[in-house]
Structure 1
Amino acid sequence: MRVTQKRALVRPPSGAFRRCISTHPLRDTVNIELAREQHDRYVKTLRDLGVDVMKLEPDPTLPDACFVEDTAVVRGGRALLTRPRPVSRRAEVSEVGRALEEYLECKIAEPPATIEGGDVIHLSDRLIVGLSERTNIEGIRQLSEWLRVRVDIIVDPKMMHLKSHLTAIDDDLFVGTERFRNESAVRGSRYIVVPPEESYAANTLTINRTVILPTGHPNMLRMIRDWHLDVITIDMSEFQKCDGALTCLSILF
C-alpha cells in the first residue's frame, strides 16, 4: 500500500504556456485561458480528495513551469531537486526548491546528471525509473543514493518520460501500454493494458485510493471501474498539446 498523499505543490500556467516544449501537432492552438480553467479544476479535485495544495506563482519567462513534477522527486523527508535535460527548464527548479525546503531536506542533482520527475514511479518499497531521453544513469544513481531507496530501471532512450506509458495505481496494480507489460519491474503484478487508441490515459494519478483519468477515454474508464475503484475524470486537452499529463502538474508528498 502506497503512502497517503497529504500535500501537493502546483504552479498554474503562465501567459507563456503556448511556447512550451512540445512535439504535439496542436501546440500552437493552446488556449491559455482554458488551460488555466483546467488547472483550477485539477487543484479543486486534489483539495476535494483531502490534499493540502500549495501554489507557486506563474512565471511568464518559463513556459513549461506548470509541469512541476519534473523539478523534484520526493520520498520520505527528502527531495532531490532535479536537473532537467532541456536547459530552458533548469530555471524552474530554484523556486520549487525554496518551497520544498520548508518541509523537506533538499539536495540538488549535480552534473552530469539529468533527471526529471516524469520518469519516476513511486511505490512503497522502491522506485521504478525510466532511463529515457530526459533521465540518464547518473541522474538515477544520485536519486537512489540521496533518497536511500531501491530503484528498478526501465530502459527506453527514445521515450520522453516513462510515465507517459506506465503509472501505478497501487504497489501491485499498474496501468500501461502493451510495450511495457513484460518488463521485469512490473512482472508478477496486475497490469491494465491501455488500448492503443487511448494511450494518453496511461498517465493516471491516484490520490488516496481515487484514480484520476483524463476525459475522453471510455474504455480505460470502464476497465478501471471494473477493479471497483473510484474514478474522477478531468479535461486535460490544453496540457496534452504541450506533451503534459495528469502527474506532470503536481509534486505530491
Structure 2
Amino acid sequence: MNMFTKAITKKPCKALIDGISTAQFVEAGEKPEYELSARQHDKYVEILESLGLEVLDLEADERYPDSCFTEDPAVVMERCAVITNPAKDSRNGEKEEILPAIRKFYSDDQIFHIEAPGTMEGGDVMRVGDHFYVGQSDRTNAEGARQFNEIVTKFGYTSSTVPVTEGLHLKDFAIYLENNNMLVTETVNKLEAFKDFNRFVVSPDELYAINSLYINGTVLVPEGYPKTLKIIEDLGYPVKLVDTSEFKKIDGSLTCLSLRF
C-alpha cells in the first residue's frame, strides 16, 4: 500500500479558460472561472497538507492553459521519475517546466524521459502496488508505453497496457482505491486485466466521480455525486469532498491536480 509524503501542484493560470476540453463531463462551450478555480486549487492543496503531505505549489504559467494538471507531464515513484511526452502541442512544453521541480526530489540518474515518437500523459498511468497499468489512448501510444516499461523495470517495477476505448485518460474510467478495490465504468469492468479486483461500477450519470483520489487511507471525492460517495463510504473509507467544478470544464479532476509520491 502506497503512502504519500510529498506532492507537486501548480496554481491555475488565467489562460485556464483556453484549456483543452472534450466536453466529456460538461456542456460544450462551458468555460472555467479563473477566480473560483484558484480558490478550489488552494482548498485542494490545503486538503493534501491536512493528510500529511508536504506540498510544493508551483506558480501559475500563462503559457500553458492546462499546466495546473501536474499529473500529466511526469510520473513519479519512489525509485525514479519519468518525464512524459504529452501528445498535444499546447501541452508538450509542460514537460520542460516540470523538470526543475522534479529535480528537487530526484537525482539526474533517477530521471528519465519518454522520447518521440513515444507519447505519454500521466493520466493514463494507474499504479497498483509496484505495477503500472498504462492506458493506450489518444494521448499515450504504444511506443510511449514501451519506453515507460523499459525504464521502470530497471527499478523493480512492472507495467502492462490496457486499451482506453472511451474518453481521454485511463484514470477517467478506472481508479484504484487500494485494498484491491477499483471504481470502473461498465466498459472497463469487462476488461480481463482487472478481473481479480473488487470492481464497483459507477452509475453512467456519475462517471466524473470515478476519478476519486486515495491519499493515506482517506479518499477525496468530487462534490455532487451521491451514489459514488455511498459506494466509497460503504467500503469503509474516510472521505473528504472536494469541489472541482471549474477543472471539470477542461477535463480536469482530482488526480490530475497533483503529482504524489
Tell me the TM-score normalised to structure 1 length: 0.96
137, 154, 157: which is aligned to 2:142?
Answer: 137
Alignment check: 8 A CA contact 1:75 1:147 kept: no
Whole-angstrom CA distance in 2 between matches of 1:17 and 1:216: 22
Counterparts of 2:230 and 2:165, CA distance in 1:
32
Alignment partner of 1:62 is 2:64: yes
**Is 1:31 equivalent to 2:10 in the alignment?**
no
The alignment partner of 2:72 has SS state of helix
Q: Determine the structure 2 residue equivalent to 1:15.
A: 14
Q: What is the CA RMSD across the aligned residues, in angstroms?
A: 1.2
The structure-2 alpha-carbon separation of the partners of 1:108 and 1:76, relative to structure 1 and needing over 3 Å to count, comes to same
Q: 1:164 to 1:136 in 2, by over 3 A?
A: same
Q: 1:199 aligns with which of 207, 218, 222?
A: 207
5 Å-filtered alignment, 1:203-222, equals: 203-222=211-230
8 Å Cα contact 1:77/1:103 also seen in 2: no
- Alignment counterpart, residue 121 of structure 1, candidates 112, 121, 126: 126
The amino acid across from 1:12 in the alignment is K
Corresponding letter in the other structure for 1:5: F
1:137 is displaced (CA, Å) by 0.7
Post-superposition shift, 1:145?
1.2
Structure 2: tracts of 5 or more residues without a match = none
User: Where in structure 2 are the equivalents of 1:77-226 lying within 5 Å?
Assistant: 77-104=79-106, 105-148=110-153, 149-156=157-164, 159-170=167-178, 172-226=180-234
Q: Percent identity?
A: 38
In structure 1, C-alpha distance between the alignment counterparts of 2:28 and 2:137, rounded to whole Å: 24
Distance in 1 between residues matched to 2:204 and 2:248, nearest whole Å: 16
Does structure 2 conserve the Cα–Cα contact (< 8 Å) formed by 1:27 and 1:242? no
Distance 1:183 1:134 in 2: 20
Letter in 2 for 1:95: E
1:41-60 aligned at under 5 Å gives the runs: 41-60=43-62
Instruction: Provide the rounded CA distance (Å) in 2 between the counterparts of 1:179 and 1:157.
Output: 8
Cα distance in 2 for residues equivalent to 1:53 and 1:72: 16
Following superposition, the deviation at residue 127 of structure 1 comes to: 0.6
Unaligned regions of 5+ residues in structure 1, if any? none
SS in 1 for 2:240: strand
Q: In the aligned structure 1, how far is the partner of 2:59 from the partner of 2:36?
A: 18
Evaluate the alpha carbon distance shift between residue 157 and residue 180 of structure 1 in structure 2; reply closer, same or farther with a 3 A threshold.
closer
Give the whole-Å Cα distance in 2 for the aligned partners of 1:165 and 1:63: 24
Cα distance in 2 between the residues matched to 1:27 and 1:211: 30
Please state whether the residue corresponding to 2:192 is helix, strand or coil: coil
